[in-house]
Structure 1
């Protein structure tokens, strides 16, 4: 081993090696084995390690983990909706048993086996329905079919219905996932769907079945309005789109304004919890706690309505 020449800089990690290259961050001499290529020049191993330690995972504006593919969650939701729709189509379309099981019906219905699509009004129990001979009982939320509060948001029959909802989800979803992150966006979608279902449970005819992702889609519109307003962005286009959809809600027949209203309010509340939570290490805790409280309130509202219907 040779001694370094006096006055010649040597690598800070290998004192026996002469070096005329210095780290761009700390200025220490580094030999070829210690050089790490940077955007400009080279960095030493110590500075590289320090930088890696200090670098946090990419976060969105509202604290979520930034998605590398912001449209992936929307694609997943669209795929689930399409899969359910295909299952409905191959099992009878509007007369599919899946519609009766998964669509939202406040109270159970006794349908006619001989005349599909017809039902016996005023029959509120499976026992009486079975005694008819021609009856087939399908439970409602008041009979314990609580899953309908969520499954109805993934249920469609008419091609135009699923087409419009999925197109809206495709346009709105990636924007929100980009600013919220995957987990928060998914929570927004599902809570909006639940809020729409609870509104239907309270405000719709108790014997009427409701289905479709419109409540969740309206929730996305409400969320965009809240987040856009918080960011002081131009939300005139969102207001215009919302106005058109509200108009269609009352012009087109058999459209659930109750689900749309509930979803819109639910989505706006979730977005407000995410956007206005104070910055800091506890922001995520505040956000998820607020969403949990909203879910509990919606669940309590559903339970009260079920008790009234029972």
Structure 2
């Protein structure tokens, strides 16, 4: 409910009262001024303060100067949906799946982690050089069948929101992408040099989230049995179906996610941003080194 407008002197002979006018509503005279800046404020613009009233500009400026709330690990606390990035990632995966599965299957080859060097001088995909290394990222969003994407997206929905809320959106997205890149880089390095490798899926990035979740449990002193059991089951399935599942991407993503998670959650408060950034950059640099090693071992 707006406060009542102060009583103004009655104009004499059509003359104005001489009171100042509200900057937002020049047609209105007012005898009240902002307690912070002193500018006139009309009843519609008055914002109650501890003492008197303030104008909307001062209220907005004070809100902008307030430090934003942060998570326990330095991320900006999301005021809205705490799982927004997770939902966007799931949406992108589903969109790419529809494109590659039902619109044009050729896009699976264009976006997947294809590495092929059957003969000296004949290379395809990742093996062709830096212009094809975009596949380290795009392969994370390509899936081969409904069961594949359903299991990966379910795992992402289970693991993602919790990490996104404690790390913040930017750190969570960095963890996801760098872990996925690291998994694909290790897959490229350890693939047989004379065989065609076709790796797709978000599994490397999701194993990275699993590794970071283990670190989170450790930091918060939560019993580790559930996450260890989940990790063991996933590794058993990975190596049991090694002819169908790329274990290299899983292991690479798991190691990268654990390292990045440790760097983010154990970083000293005084140098938290620096340590977290350097940890992610170091894992990314190692991933690039793995790709260069993989290129070096290919037949010339």
Asked whether the two chains share a fold, i.e. TM above 0.5, the reply is yes
Q: Secondary structure at the match of 1:61?
A: coil
Q: Residues 296-307 of structure 1 correspond to what in structure 2 (within 5 A)?
A: 296-307=285-296
Change (3 A) 1:228 1:44: farther
Aligned to 2:253: 263
**Distance in 2 between the 1:157 and 1:142 partners?**
22
Aligned to 2:71: 60
- CA distances 1:91-120 after superposition (whole Å, capped 9, x unpaired): 45xxx2212222112335xxxxxxxxxxxx
Aligned to 1:166: 153
Aligned to 1:103: 112
Q: Gaps spanning 5+ residues in structure 2: where?
A: 1-44
Asked whether the equivalents of residues 93 and 142 of structure 2 are also in contact (C-alpha less than 8 Å), the reply is yes
Q: Secondary structure at the match of 1:277?
A: coil
Report the CA distance between 1:285 and its aligned residue: 2.1
**Distance in 1 between the 2:227 and 2:52 partners?**
50
RMSD between superposed Cα atoms in Å: 2.7
Change (3 A) 1:278 1:97: same
Q: Which moved more, 1:246-255 or 1:188-197?
A: 246-255
1:205 aligns with 2:192: yes
**Distance in 1 between the 2:257 and 2:172 partners?**
10
**Distance in 2 between the 1:75 and 1:157 partners?**
20
- CA distances 1:10-66 after superposition (whole Å, capped 9, x unpaired): xxxxxxxxxxxxxxxxxxxxxxx99946xxxx46679x9998588420101110111
Report the CA distance between 1:197 and its aligned residue: 0.6
Change (3 A) 1:155 1:44: same
1:190 aligns with 2:180: no
Please, which of 156, 162, 183 is the counterpart of residue 175 of structure 1? Answer: 162
1:142 aligns with 2:90: no
TM-score normalised by structure 1 residue count? 0.72
TM-score normalised by structure 2 residue count? 0.75
Asked whether the equivalents of residues 198 and 302 of structure 1 are also in contact (C-alpha less than 8 Å), the reply is yes
Q: Secondary structure at the match of 1:64?
A: coil
1:249 aligns with 2:238: yes
Asked whether the equivalents of residues 186 and 290 of structure 2 are also in contact (C-alpha less than 8 Å), the reply is no
- CA distances 1:70-92 after superposition (whole Å, capped 9, x unpaired): 21101111111111111112245
Q: Secondary structure at the match of 1:105?
A: strand
Q: Secondary structure at the match of 1:106?
A: strand
Please, which of 62, 73, 76 is the counterpart of residue 85 of structure 2? Answer: 73
